[in-house]
Amino acid sequence: MTDETGARPTQQPESQPQPQGQPPESGQPQVSVKEKFYVRFTLAQRYLHVVLFTSFLGLAATGLPMRFSDNPAARFFAREVGGFGAILFLHKFCAVVLTLAFLYHLKDIATRSFVHREKGIFWGPTSMVPNWKDAQDLIGHLRWFVGLGPKPQFERYAYWEKFDYWAVFWGMIVIGFSGYAMWFAPFFAKFLPGWALNAVLVVHGEEALLAILFIFSIHFVNTHLRPDSFPMDMVIFTGKETDEEFRKKRTLEYRRLAAQGKLEARVGEKPIYWWVNFAKVIGFTAILIGLVLLVLTLIGYFGNA
Amino acid sequence: MKAYLHGTEPQRIGSGCRTLSTALVLLLLPGFSSMLRAQTDCLSCHADKTMQDASGHSVGVDADVFHSSIHGSLSCTDCHTSIKEYPHPDTPVAVKCVTCHADQAAGIAGSVHASASAHPCTSCHGDAHAIFPKDDARSAVYPLNIPRTCGTCHASDALAKKYGLQNVYSVYMDSIHGYAVSKEGLLVAANCMSCHGSHHILSHKDTQSPTYKTNIPNTCGTCHGGVEAEYSAGVHGKAVAAGNLAAPVCSDCHTAHAILQPTLADFRMQSTPICGSCHKGRFATYQDTFHSQLGLLGGYVQTARCWDCHGAHDILPASDPNSPVNKANLIKTCGRCHTDANASFVQYQPHANPRNRKLNPALYFTRFFMNLLLWSVLGFFSLHTLLWFIRAKREQGKSGPGGEAKDD
């Protein structure tokens, strides 16, 4: 990609033409002398991801047998686990855990923005809220896929990461609400129309199917299995990424921080060796379970239809 | 009497003695002539239980058992009519039970067991000299012994195959009736005879048979009178009575021989598809619901099956005010499981069809929107991810690992 070097700087107010403060790490491709690590996620955020995917795997593993209960694998699994009673208990248990994690996240957002008055949560380059640049990035990225333009450069959260976030956010509300509506149907019936009691099962099942298919295929590939991150992007486990990764994947954030002289403040310790390996075991287990569930879901879905 | 040549040594001596004593009695009672009268005359030889005739058939009689049997007061010659004196012919004429038991013989003659050579009376009643009244536990046709007696032939796969029957012996024995007979010893529990009759057993295709479709409610009603009354008042009973042979009778839902206790998990699992075999549309919509989805899982049986809502024997149309699925009764019916069911809760449609736009428009569009969302998101991102993957691979190929660095 020789034609794009500096030729098409992305139209972002924060993006500086050249970082000033850090001459040795000016974004030019070069081999780092010593690997430097930058903090991307806090410990709480990393734990939240672990709680999120653990409970999600639990929900998927116990929800799928209910959705595809005429599938022999589902019946076998349910019998082994201890029957439907056990399956539903585990499903509700994971649901409560995930609900608590979601509420914790909402509380975290609220505290950070309204108590600590942290800037950039609802707007600006570090926000999860989609903006005009995300739309441009999406178009630009698609054009780059097919060789019609240069590769866009991304800020702290790229558009597909924001989509992942909001997909989970929306899914949490939709699946959560419909799930609790079934759990406490007579109570919800007091203010929902009659047909809604029928609809919640459809909504719950379809949205869950979307979540399962999306996470176990699109999220896995986009975030972990694509060639640039293969086999797994460890940043969500270690919280840190190398200087090279940071520069390549989130060029605009890197440049912005360098320009503001805040880059050094983000430097972190090199992740501990055993912790990385431990995280890999956990992560690969999760991915493996996810892929197995993906296959079973597809069998269940298309075996039925 | 070649027979006692085959006996063991002491018995041979014993038999010899008895023969001598018989001759002595005959000599000492000249007025008695040579006519055989009392059992004792015959038993003086035939009490030897090991006695066999020329073709090896046992001709010994256990005197004690015979005396206590239902025919114990008869003389041997009452049945063995061709034997008048001693010595008697080696091959006496076969005994004819019909002489006394004309009604039973007539029944057999018109039944599936008509062939006398294949089904002599003894094939069911057992040893001719050990026949007991049917309320005697020693009888082969005592209620608790009947399954085993019929099973002598009907537990055989070969026989079942030969006559195009199912081998139902083992499924009957595992059924609630078989269990009651074999394990609990209930004399009133249904054995083979209770439903099929005894001497005049007819094919279930015969309109006179108690197992002919339209006769089945009456047959089962012999014991299950209350259920029969409920059934007759319900839609199925009325339909059958009106000559609709497609409507179910007892055995269509409960099966004939493998009848299970209806609260058992296995029965709850097996019976919904049985209703579904006729009510296909209702079954399909039921399968879309939570009740069905969960009911199939891991043997979970508590979720609502057809009859939990519709009733079992006295099924009535929903328009009938006595029907449990009549609008006025729904809170009570749903409330049997959902204890806090309320008027709004029972608006739930247990047979809603999300694919039917006219009947369930809200549900139809909900499903339509969810499917649209599902497939548009997945479709778009699958393409997105695939293109990205290919592009990233090519970049990697161009510049080795870390190909994206070139973009900076």
pLDDT at B1 over 80: no
Beta carbons of A59 and A94 less than 8 angstroms apart: yes
pLDDT of residue B399: 65
When pLDDT is cut at 50, 70 and 90, the band that residue B398 belongs to is: confident
From B347, which residue of chain A is nearest by alpha-carbon distance?
Answer: A194
Can you tell me the distance from the alpha carbon of A51 to that of A172, in angstroms, rounded to the nearest whole number? 14
Model confidence at B400, in pLDDT bands (50, 70, 90)? low
**Of residues A70, A88, A196, nearest to B296 (C-beta):** A70
Instruction: Find, among B272, B290, B267, the residue nearest to B351 by Cα.
Output: B290
Round to whole Å and give the CA distance between B154 and B147.
9
Distance from CA of A125 to the nearest CA of B (A): 19
Within a domain: residue A174? yes
Q: Is the pLDDT of residue B5 over 90?
A: no
Give the tens place of pLDDT for each residue, B214-255. 999 999 999 999 999 999 999 999 999 999 999 999 999 998
B374: tokens are: 């599902």
Task: Give residue-wise pLDDT tens across range B317-337.
Answer: 999 999 999 999 999 999 999
CB-based contact B279:B285 (threshold 8 Å): no
The interface residues of chain A toward chain B in range 19-78, judged by CB-CB distance below 8 A, are 27-29, 65-67, 69-70, 74-75, 78
Q: Taking chain A, what is the end-to-end CA distance rounded to the nearest angstrom? A: 45
CB contact under 8 A, A153 and B407: yes
Contact yes or no for A189 and B338 at CB 8 A: no
CB pair distance less than 8 Å for B370 and A247: no
pLDDT of residue A231: 84
B300/A83 touch (CB, cutoff 8 Å), yes or no: yes
CA dihedral A40, A46, A49, A51 (to 10 degrees): -170
Q: Is residue A19 part of a domain?
A: no
DSSP H helical ranges for B302-360: 306-310, 330-335
| Beta-carbon separation of B287 and A182 below 8 A | no
Nearest CA distance, B276 vs chain A (angstrom)? 15
Is pLDDT larger for residue B169 or for residue B49?
Answer: B169
User: Can you give the length of chain A in residues?
Assistant: 305
CA separation for the pair A237, A273 (Å, rounded): 12
What is the dihedral sign for C-alpha B358, B363, B364, B369?
positive
pLDDT at A33: 52
CB-based burial of residue A8 (10 Å sphere; 0-12 exposed, 13-18 middle, 19+ buried)? middle
pLDDT for A48 equals 94
Task: Identify the three-state secondary structure at position B4.
Answer: helix
Q: How confident is the model at residue B118 (pLDDT cuts 50, 70, 90)?
A: confident
SS (H, E, C) chain A: CCCCCCCCCCCCCCCCCCCCCCHHHCCCCCCCCCCCEEECCCHHHHHHHHHHHHHHHHHHHHHHHHHCCCCHHHHHHHHHHCHHHHHHHHHHHHHHHHHHHHHHHHHHHHHHHHHCCCCCCCCCCCCCCCCHHHHHHHHHHHHHHCCCCCCCCCCCCCHHHHHHHHHHHHHHHHHHHHHHHHHCHHHHCCCCCHHHHHHHHHHHHHHHHHHHHHHHHHHHHHHHHCCCCCCCCCHHHHCEEEHHHHHHHCHHHHHHHHHHCCCHHHEECCCCHHHHHHHHHHHHHHHHHHHHHHHHHHHHHHHHC
Q: Which two tokens stand for residue A267?
A: 């430097």
**Number of separate domains in chain A:** 1
Is residue A86 less than 8 Å (CB to CB) from chain B? yes
Instruction: Return the pLDDT at B16.
Output: 44
Q: What is the mean pLDDT of residues B100-122?
A: 89
Measured in angstroms, the CA of A211 and the nearest CA of chain B are apart by 9
* CATH number of the domain that residue A158 is part of: 1.20.950.20
Judge whether A5 lies within some domain.
no
Query: What pLDDT shows up at residue B298?
Result: 65
Contacts of A160 in chain B (CB under 8 A): 381, 384
Convert the pLDDT of each residue in B20-38 to its tens digit. Answer: 555 444 444 444 444 555 6
CB A88 to CB B294 under 8 A? yes
Backbone phi and psi for residue B35, each to the nearest 5 degrees, phi listed first? -70, 135
Q: What confidence tier does B290 reach under pLDDT thresholds 50, 70, 90?
A: confident
From residue A244, how far is each of A25, A36, B389, B395 by CA, in Å? 9, 8, 20, 17
Q: Which of B299, B360, B382 sits opposite A79 (nearest CB)?
A: B299
Q: What is the pLDDT of residue A12?
A: 41
pLDDT digits (tens, 9 = 90+) for A8-42: 333 444 444 444 444 444 444 444 456 889 999 99
Confidence tier at B366 by pLDDT (50, 70, 90) = very high
B136 burial via Cβ count (<10 Å: 0-12, 13-18, 19+):
middle
Give dist(CA B222, CA B216) in Å, integer: 10
In a 3-state reduction of DSSP, which class is residue B52? strand
Q: What is the pLDDT of residue B37?
A: 57
> Which of B327, B404, B406 to mutate to test binding with chain A, by most A CBs within 10 Å of its CB?
B404
| Token couple for B6 | 């085959």
Q: Yes or no: say if A204 and A179 are a contact pair by the CB < 8 Å rule.
A: yes
- Which residues have a Cβ under 8 Å from the Cβ of B322 and sit 6 or more positions away? B316
Which residue from B minimizes the CA distance to A188? B345
Instruction: Let me know if residue A84 belongs to a domain.
Output: yes
User: Percent of chain B having pLDDT more than 90?
Assistant: 51
Kindly state whether residue A14 falls inside one of the protein's structural domains: no
SS3 B359: coil
- Whether B377 shows a pLDDT value over 60: the answer reads yes
A198 touches chain B (CB under 8 A): yes
* B404:A151 CB<8 A: yes
Alpha-helical runs (H) found in B279-327: 280-287, 290-295, 306-310
The answer to the question of residue A15 being in a domain is no
Identify the band that residue B53 occupies on the pLDDT scale cut at 50, 70 and 90.
confident
Tell me whether residues A87 and B378 touch, CB distance under 8 A.
Answer: no
Check pLDDT > 50 for residue B286: yes
Residue contact B377–A214, C-beta within 8 A = yes
Residues from chain A contacting residue B347 (CB–CB below 8 Å): 189, 193-195, 197
Give the integer Cα–Cα distance in Å for A204 and B348: 16
Range of the domain at A226: 32-304
For residue A62, give how far its alpha carbon lies from the nearest alpha carbon of chain B (Å).
11
| Spans of chain A, pLDDT less than 50 | 1-32
* Lateral strand order in the sheet of A37-39: A240-242, A37-39, A267-268
